[in-house]
């Protein structure tokens, strides 16, 4: 998944980050997790750079103004994007929009019920606008955290045998066996705090059979089976409170749950 992205180095990383920022939560989680299993060091830099609508709300008032001026309909979009439980909460955002707050308040007041899908779409539009203005150097926007060049290149010359992939500080990120340059057998993947992130089986470099994922605290996050590198069959998932639910997958596509 990452080979073509890494060949383009910093430009590839930036485009990849921007695509993740405007991807739905469940698909985003899947992309990030698959990337982490494939190349934890590169993905560590990706996750450092992925921004959300909350990051937009942390920009300077001048940068926020530039975003508002970028599109005549932007205030209406921002009104939909704001995470409001009720109209009165708009007052909390007055310091962020000092020059246009009155108009923004009117937009929020005129809004009818906003669905989660509409809010999500509005937030993505705002993020795309920020990144566009950033590329055009109209605003500084979100700070890029760019890795050293060697992050884009394979660090190990081991083609067969047991190997460990490490983070920059030497902490083990993944370990398992390689045969003819492809992962085989049981591999274990770790958070940078040393706790287990995931464990499961590879066959000729492809995830297959049972896999289990964990929260950073150590509790199970999900478990199920892969078929040809794709989720398949029944998957069980837990939230951080330990509540469980099940979902059905067909070759990487969620069909229920």
DSSP string for 41-108:
HHHHHHHHH---HHHHTTS-HHHHHHHHHT-TTHHHHHHHHS--SSGGGGGGGTTTSTTTHHHHHHHH
**Torsional sign, CA 200, 206, 209, 210:** positive
The total number of residues shown for the chain amounts to 257
pLDDT tens digits, one per residue of 98-131: 999 999 999 999 998 899 999 999 999 999 999 9
What is the DSSP secondary structure assignment for residue 117, as one 8-state letter? H
Helices and strands of the chain, counted as H and E runs: 9, 9
The structure tokens listed for 14 are 């930036």
Q: Which of these, 89, 83, 93, 87, lies nearest to 110 by C-alpha position? A: 87
* Tens-digit pLDDT profile for residues 20-29: 999 998 889 9
Regions of the chain with pLDDT less than 70: 154-158
CB 15 within 8 A of CB 8: yes
Q: Beta 182-190 vs 172-179: how paired, if at all?
A: antiparallel
Sheet holding 206-214, edge to edge: 161-166, 172-179, 182-190, 196-203, 206-214, 220-227, 230-238, 244-250, 253-256
Name the residue among 220, 185, 189 with its Cα closest to residue 202.
185
- Cβ neighbours of residue 62 under 8 Å, at least 6 residues apart? 139
Q: 234, 256, 56, 39: which is closest to 150 by C-alpha?
A: 39
pLDDT of 156 reads 55
**Residue of 50, 51, 106, 43 whose CA lies nearest to 78:** 106
pLDDT of residue 213: 97
Q: Quote the tokens at residue 214.
A: 């964990």
What region does 109 belong to: left with phi over 0, alpha with psi -120 to 50, or beta? alpha
């Amino acid at each position: 998944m990452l080979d073509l992205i890494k060949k383009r180095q910093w430009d590839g990383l930036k485009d990849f980050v921007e695509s993740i920022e405007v991807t739905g939560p469940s698909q985003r989680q899947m992309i990030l997790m698959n990337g982490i299993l494939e190349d934890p060091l590169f993905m560590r830099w990706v996750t450092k750079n992925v921004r959300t609508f909350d990051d937009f709300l942390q920009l300077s008032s001048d940068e926020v103004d530039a975003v508002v001026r970028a599109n005549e309909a932007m205030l209406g979009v921002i009104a939909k994007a704001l995470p409001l439980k009720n109209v009165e909460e708009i007052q909390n955002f007055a310091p962020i929009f000092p020059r246009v707050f009155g108009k923004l308040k009117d937009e929020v007041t005129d809004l009818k019920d906003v669905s989660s899908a509409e809010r999500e779409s509005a937030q993505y539009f705002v993020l795309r606008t920020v990144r566009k203005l950033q590329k055009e150097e109209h605003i500084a926007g979100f700070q890029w955290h760019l890795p050293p060049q060697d992050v884009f290149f394979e660090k190990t010359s081991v083609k067969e045998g047991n190997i460990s992939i490490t983070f920059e500080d030497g902490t083990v990120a993944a370990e398992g066996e390689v045969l003819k340059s492809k992962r085989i057998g049981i591999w274990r993947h770790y958070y940078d705090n040393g706790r287990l992130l995931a464990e499961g089986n590879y066959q000729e470099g492809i995830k297959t059979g049972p896999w289990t994922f964990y929260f950073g605290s150590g509790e199970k996050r999900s478990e199920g089976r892969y078929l040809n590198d794709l989720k398949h069959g029944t998957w069980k998932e837990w939230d951080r409170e330990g509540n469980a639910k099940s979902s059905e997958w067909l070759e990487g596509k969620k069909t229920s749950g």
